[in-house]
Structure 1
């Protein structure tokens, strides 16, 4: 019975957090969404099919190879930064991040040296951010794979599929 007040306080805090909109969580986290840049080639930033929204790969501004030029923590930060860019794209595509019912699939690509094996730890930078912003809706199926190079020598590229509320 002594722990009941602590339980009630924790429940109340989690209830308030769950009741927040994604935009409110972004503000609370002190994140400024960047301006969206147009694609550098002949493709779309996103395509909606039914209630699924497919985002093209988005890359980090950090350049270099994980396990050679960069360490896992730097890769984690690059994936988080990429996540912020993806949030901006999702906001532009949906008009309101509350329209996102759930994240479905994430494909994380890491520019990796041949002996670097910590790709999941890098892509956690993205996954952790989505759960911070969306709670359970931000959890997703995921691939975190190494590539011997990525476009423009970026450290991380991430593709996303989300389901929208009907």
Structure 2
């Protein structure tokens, strides 16, 4: 029984299929027991989540967009683990990029959408080091992109 996916279901989350790369890169690279996952862009069942924080999107909506990136990251980790998400040991680091105006300074609150989700889904194994930075633009106009490093067994 997959305990991580059981916890996700309790949170109302079903992991989608891992997204294929949109350019000349691979979705993840495993080195030893570490999986480096390429940036996952904000999207949900309705498509891409577009917007610029500080202009046409508020912090709460940005945090929700960041959560979708975290879900995408876990989908990639599941693929890296051959479908067995219980091989995930812990989240090591997340790097969040927030499409925001020059005067917007709440990037950490936006990326908390991903961080809070990881802790809710994984408990202490979801606690991680992190960076949250502003970007003048992100691919396709998405609001948030997050990459991550994960330890697996």
On whether the aligned pair clears a TM of 0.5, the verdict is yes
The alpha-carbon deviation at position 122 of structure 1 amounts to 0.3
Corresponding residue for residue 13 of structure 1: none
Unaligned runs of 5+ in 1: 1-19
Corresponding residue for residue 135 of structure 1: 123
Contact 2:94 2:146 in 1 (8 A): yes
The alpha-carbon deviation at position 36 of structure 1 amounts to 2.3
Q: Which has the higher helix share?
A: 1
In the alignment, which of 27, 36, 43 is matched to residue 54 of structure 1? 36
SS in 2 for 1:131: helix
Corresponding residue for residue 87 of structure 1: 74
CA distance in 2, matches of 1:97, 1:35: 13
The alpha-carbon deviation at position 93 of structure 1 amounts to 1.2
With normalisation by structure 1, the TM-score equals 0.85
Larger radius of gyration: 1
Q: Residue 100 in 1 paired to residue 88 in 2?
A: yes
Aligned residues: 146
Q: Which contiguous aligned blocks of 4+ residues in structure 1 show a shift greater than 2 angstroms? A: none
Corresponding residue for residue 145 of structure 1: 133
Contact 2:19 2:76 in 1 (8 A): no
The alpha-carbon deviation at position 40 of structure 1 amounts to 1.3
Q: Which has the higher strand share?
A: 2
| RMSD between aligned residues | 1.1
The alpha-carbon deviation at position 114 of structure 1 amounts to 0.5
